[in-house]
Structure 1
Amino acid sequence: MTTKAQDGSAPVILWFRRDLRLADNPALNQAYATGRPILPVYTHDEGAGVRAAGAASLWWLDKSLRALATSLAGRGATLILRRGDAETQLRRLIDETGADAIFLNRLFEPAAWTRDADIAHRLKADGIECRGFNGSLLARPGSLLNGSGGPYKVFTPFMKALRARAEPPAHTNGPRAFGGAPHVAGDDLDDWGLHPTRPDWSGGFDWAPGEDGGIAALHRFVTEGLKDYADGRDRPAQAATSRLSPHLHFGEINPWRAWIAARDAADAGTVAPDQADKFIAELIWRDFSAHLLHHFPTLPDKAFRPEYDAMPWREDEAGFTAWTRGLTGYPIVDAGMRELWATGMMHNRVRMIVASFLIKDLLIDWRRGEAWFWDTLVDADLASNSQNWQWVAGSGADASPYFRIFNPVTQGQKFDAEARYVKRWIPELARLPARWAHAPWEAPPEVLRDSGVRLGATYPRPIVDHARARDRALAALKTVTAERQDAAAD
């Protein structure tokens, strides 16, 4: 058993998780305020009942840890890497150094929350102080409750409550220098094998993980993309989205910093207030998802509205495979899925289109789509991923109604009218005139011939007829409606 007495000269452990930054880091600030030597540590724990990160997330984690290690080294500290059970590794570090306190920013996903609470309880029983902070969200889950004392299930009241009650913390840059900590051996990050090999599929990943990359992305967005955000965020060919989501997920930037940067741009008159407000609403939606998951732990696995678990999903392996590979025959869907595979990211509007296609055109369980996104997105986030898939499926909190079924042709024509996005990701259609690019099967034979398109050969025919699929989806909805009526009768 590890037992330590409180010692004013003993080092303290700064346990990094998804807060891979030095600025605006409350756990770091509080650890530094003790005046004791700080031992920065990251534990790679894959067996704690917490959902294992997907391949694209591991790619990002590799680069982000390297960036954090470099930042710490520049301030005189060494990032200690330990792989294995988190509690075991923390206890080893305590035994090796005499540390008697641990500072951490909390994880609010239910499994991680429970694991951390159990670790803290056992360590405190052995005389180790454990102090946790909110370093990832605008508001701590549990701090915003409705008039009945329960969690909000509708976004607009949640947003109003957060705007009214949440207070931004003061900006901090972190300590200029660390010092005095004993040298402790750690793992070599290369040995963790987070970067893909055999093959390395990340050649198209054009990202700069790490705190500096997050700050640069925020600056670029505020000065370039924010001014046309409200409309531009729906245009996949435009560079109007923030590209901040992976930086936020890994805690390379505090969400309050993004909020304040947008608000300051509006106050300075460089962007219209409504553009800043729209972006801030998206930051709040991220919080809304996190709060929902914290209060409703089954969100990733079960329909939030339980009657939707009666949906008669289809087993369609051929359809699912075509969807994952971007070979459905619907260009806007295929472009999105190819963008995802090539870059680890997909445009927000297109995410809704491809999700609707899987759920409603193919009638495949949303959980399969969520799992694919989890593995392939660099910004895969358990709360946001689950909530957004359930939003499209109609089964989530404050969700889009299931009968809202996106037409992939008209969605493409509306939001990618010149087909620039489609042609970027589907080079087979690059020479096809834009008027036909979202429905190539409707193009005259001579147009297809002159464009070098051979349906069924160079580019697939649609794997499903959208009109018929829509009817099938609405018929499936009746199963849910019947389940709801039966529940009401009971």
Structure 2
Amino acid sequence: MKKEKALVWFRRDLRDHDHAALSAALAGAEAVYCAFVFDWEILDALPDRHDRRVHFIRESLVELDAALRARGGGLIVRHGRATEEIPSLARQLGVSAVYANRDYEPSAKQRDAAVGQALLTDSIDFHTFKDQAFFAGDEVRTQAGHPFSVFTPYKNAWLKRLTAADCAEWPCRGEFTGADLAGVPTLSEIGFAATDLMQLGIRPGMSGARALWDDFRQERLEHYGERRDFPAVKGVSYLSVHLRFGTISIRELVRAALQAKDPTWLSELIWRDFYFMILDHSPQVVGSAFKPAYDAIAWDNWPTGLAAWQAGRTGYPLVDAAMRQLNHSGWMHNRLRMLVASFLSKDLGIDWRLGEQYFAAKLNDFDLSANNGGWQWAASTGCDAQPYFRIFNPVTQSERFDPAGKFIRRYVPELAKVPDKYIHAPWLMGRVEQEAIGIIIGRDYPAPIVDHAAARKKTLDRYAVVKPTA
């Protein structure tokens, strides 16, 4: 007979269904409390009080609270240091155990270790579960028992390990209890302000995730592989921010991906697990190259170049359009994330870590594992990275993935009148042609900040320090 009381600590899993920690608590306790902490350790590090991610979380919590109240419970929301608030709340409620889903970021692992130790002193158990990853890092290993560092063999082992049981939904049935339910604080009460989240059409919460998922699953999943690389085409899922904050379950997505005719989207979900695993087992990637030899690369200290890249003023239209999309919306198409990362590190010769930091500040869907993995992939410093000599050509990438310049014209409107012939390299227009359309390169739109061919040669020389081990 169930007699215990339990506390479920929500973090990046803001839903009331298919939730591993919640399922376990409901199955093992007669009364289950639910809590979320706006953690000072995280919020105080944010440079902008108008942060869409905090706004997204807050609105998602309102929906989660309503869903839990409809089931007899509700969400206890605290604002403070999680390492103090969770043990204090557990003591106050008299629970015998706290349940949470695992996080793989180094700071989160340190936080959870501190919380577990504090709970232990009060004889309160701390149970953690795999939920945000489909397979955790220890579940998919080489035959020798080591973590993988190359994606394709990892993917093959991931698929080989997969069973129907892994895809099963965690049932969340049982008795909830409400206590100290003051509701979710306003943004201003936690020191933040409203953003343009709604104006951008970003719908938070489980309902927002469901609407996007239904649209993608019904309309685009079967064509994902053929459409995903074209930023002017509605081809991707746009679910990344919902996966980041757990308003939808990874298991539900994997189940659908396994049934799709095209395996491409499943591969993208496996990449997500791969980067979780890398971060979990190699926390040194935060701030350092996965391949230590690449830390010997001498990057250029070029503040003007970095600022031009950040502002979308490099003179390369597709790079600039991508950066302006990021600055405007907090999101960037994945193909373009690879392009602009390659451009920063290999055309401008600027340390990839500066680009990683800029993305971390701007992306609504910022996830340390994927962001770090993607940047190290583009800079050729990471696990299974593109070879150092593979350098994206920003013009040919533009011609291939935005052939009509539709995406460019949307985000770089000063180029709207440029003929298709020149939209990817407008500096090739003659002066007479420029004057005829009222666009003077160097006045109305920047001339290229670097020559790609010359930059490519310089990059190959720069990476020569690690060629023998590449």
TM-score bracket for this pair, using the shorter chain length: over 0.9
Q: What RMSD over aligned residues (CA atoms) do the two structures have, in Å?
A: 2.4
Structure 1 residues not aligned, in runs of 5+ = 1-6, 267-272, 486-490
Residue matched to 1:183: 180
Distance 2:58 2:338 in 1: 29
| 1:37 matches 2:58 | no
Contact 1:57-1:375 at 8 Å conserved across structures: no
1:334 counterpart residue number: 320
Q: Residue 238 of structure 1 corresponds to which residue in structure 2? A: 233
Asked if 1:411 corresponds to 2:391, the answer is: no
**TM-score calculated relative to the size of structure 2:** 0.93
- 1:27 corresponds, among 21, 26, 44, to 21
Q: Given that residues 22 and 173 in structure 1 are in contact (C-alpha distance below 8 angstroms), is that contact kept between their aligned partners in structure 2?
A: no
Equivalent position amino acid for 1:188 in 2? P
Residue number in structure 1 paired with 2:247 = 252
| Number of residue pairs aligned between Structure 1 and Structure 2 | 466
Partner of 1:217: 212
> Letter of the aligned partner of 1:219 in structure 2?
D
Shift of residue 174, structure 1, vs aligned partner: 3.3
Partner of 2:70: 74
Corresponding letter in the other structure for 1:445: R
> Taking structure 1 as reference, are residues 319 and 59 closer, same or farther at Cα in structure 2, changes over 3 Å only?
farther
2:75/2:181 contact within 8 Å kept: no
After superposition, give the CA deviation of every residue in 1:447-473 in whole Å (9 maximum; x if it has no partner).
323333122222111111111111111
Deviates more, 1:75-84 or 1:100-109: 75-84
Taking the aligned partners of 1:56 and 1:447, their CA distance within structure 2 comes to: 42
Decide which moves more: 304-313 or 69-78.
Answer: 69-78
* Residue of structure 2 aligned with 1:450, choices 403, 412, 436: 436
1:47-58 paired onto structure 2 within 5 Å = 47=41, 55-58=51-54
Q: 1:201 to 1:209 in 2, by over 3 A?
A: closer
Would you say the 8 A contact 1:159–1:284 is kept in 2? yes
1:290 aligns with 2:276: yes
Alignment match, 1:270: none
Contact 2:75/2:178 (CA < 8 Å) preserved in 1? no
Letter in 2 for 1:461: A
SS at match of 1:47: helix
In 2, Cα distance between equivalents of 1:179 and 1:319 = 55
Pairing 1:75-474 to 2, within 5 Å after superposition: 75-167=71-163, 168-172=166-170, 174-175=172-173, 179-185=176-182, 188-193=185-190, 196=193, 200=195, 205-264=200-259, 266=260, 273=261, 275=262, 277-474=263-460
- Counterpart-to-counterpart distance in 1, 2:44 and 2:192: 21
Report the Cα distance in structure 1 between the residues aligned to 2:411 and 2:191, rounded to whole angstroms: 27
Cα separation, partners in 2 of 1:298 and 1:56, compared to 1, 3 Å? farther
In 1, Cα distance between the equivalents of 2:434 and 2:420? 12
Change (3 A) 1:48 1:346: closer
One-letter amino acid of the counterpart of residue 56, structure 2: W
Amino acid at match of 1:65: L
Cα distance per residue 1:218-244 (max 9 Å; x no partner): 211122222221121111110101111
The runs of 5 or more residues in structure 2 that have no matched partner are none
- The ranges of structure 1 where at least 4 consecutive aligned residues each deviate by more than 4 angstroms after the TM superposition are 7-10, 48-54, 184-187, 192-197, 200-204
3-state DSSP of counterpart to 2:54: helix
Distance in 2, matches of 1:180 and 1:391, equals 46
- Whether the aligned pair in 1 keeps the contact of 2:58 and 2:184 (CA below 8 Å) is no
Displacement, 1:106? 1.0
State the alpha-carbon separation in 2 of the partners of residues 90 and 259 from structure 1.
32
Identity level (%): 38
Shift of 1:361: 0.7
Measured after TM superposition, the shift of residue 44 of structure 1 is: 2.0
In the superposition, the TM-score normalised over structure 1's length comes to: 0.89
Look up the SS of the partner of 2:35 in the other structure.
strand
